[in-house]
């Protein structure tokens, strides 16, 4: 007895090719520490987790500048975080002076109409902390940061920024 198929082999083969091709493409996605953590920046300050998907990057004169802005829903409050380090992978200490090198991280708040900036900078030895650029690729800039930023006002106040991460598309 011979069985005769009532369906065409071509659509089944095409469907299998699409499924297998899709699975292979997913295998090409990086995993582990090089995979993007988020699209933007996130950090913790005063026990509050802040995530911003509005982030920008630029490179000029060998320096990488990352900026992220987070706005509080139903409010005029705005938080801005900026990082300026060499455009190269590595860890940059914000509290140690390096001749001819300037590394800066700043956190600016605009709350109830009052703007305050907290800065860590290795040249002025204001504040402390570190920024790590782990990936500086063609498509992504990925890394982490933690710092204590200090105001320039007298008396100065400080903010401790922890759990900082960035993954920004170029």
pLDDT tens for the chain, 170 residues long, are 333 333 333 333 333 333 333 333 333 333 334 444 457 999 999 999 999 988 999 999 999 999 999 998 888 899 999 999 999 999 999 989 888 889 999 999 999 999 999 999 999 889 999 999 999 999 999 999 999 999 998 889 999 999 999 999 88
Read off φ and ψ for residue 50, nearest 5 degrees.
-120, 130
pTM score, two decimals? 0.75
3-class secondary structure for the chain?
CCCCCCCCHHHHHHHHHHHHHHHHHHHCCCCHHHCCCCCEEEEEECCEEEEECEEEEEEECCEEEEEEEEECCCCCCEEEEEEEEECCCEEEECCCCECCECCEEEEEEEECCEEEEEEEECCCCECEEEEEEEEECCCEEEEEEEEEEECCCCCCCEEEEEEEEEEEEC
Report the distance separating Cα 106 and Cα 129, nearest Å.
11
Neighbours of 33 (CB within 10 A): 10
Residue whose token pair is 């200090």 = 150
């Amino acid at each position: 007895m011979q069985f005769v198929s009532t369906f065409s082999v071509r659509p089944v083969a095409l469907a299998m090719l699409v499924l297998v091709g899709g699975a292979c493409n997913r295998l090409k996605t990086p995993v582990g520490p090089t995979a993007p953590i988020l699209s933007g920046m996130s950090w913790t300050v005063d026990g509050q987790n802040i995530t911003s998907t509005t982030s920008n990057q630029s490179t000029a004169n060998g320096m990488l500048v990352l900026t992220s802005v987070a706005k509080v829903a139903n409010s005029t409050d705005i938080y801005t975080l900026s990082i300026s380090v060499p455009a190269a992978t590595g860890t940059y200490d914000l509290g140690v002076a390096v001749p001819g090198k300037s590394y800066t991280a700043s956190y600016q708040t605009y709350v109830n109409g009052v703007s305050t900036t907290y800065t860590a900078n290795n040249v002025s030895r204001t504040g402390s902390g570190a920024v790590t650029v782990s990936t500086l690729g063609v498509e992504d800039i990925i890394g982490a940061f933690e710092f204590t930023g200090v105001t320039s006002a007298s008396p100065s106040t400080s903010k401790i920024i922890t759990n900082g991460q960035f993954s920004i598309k170029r």
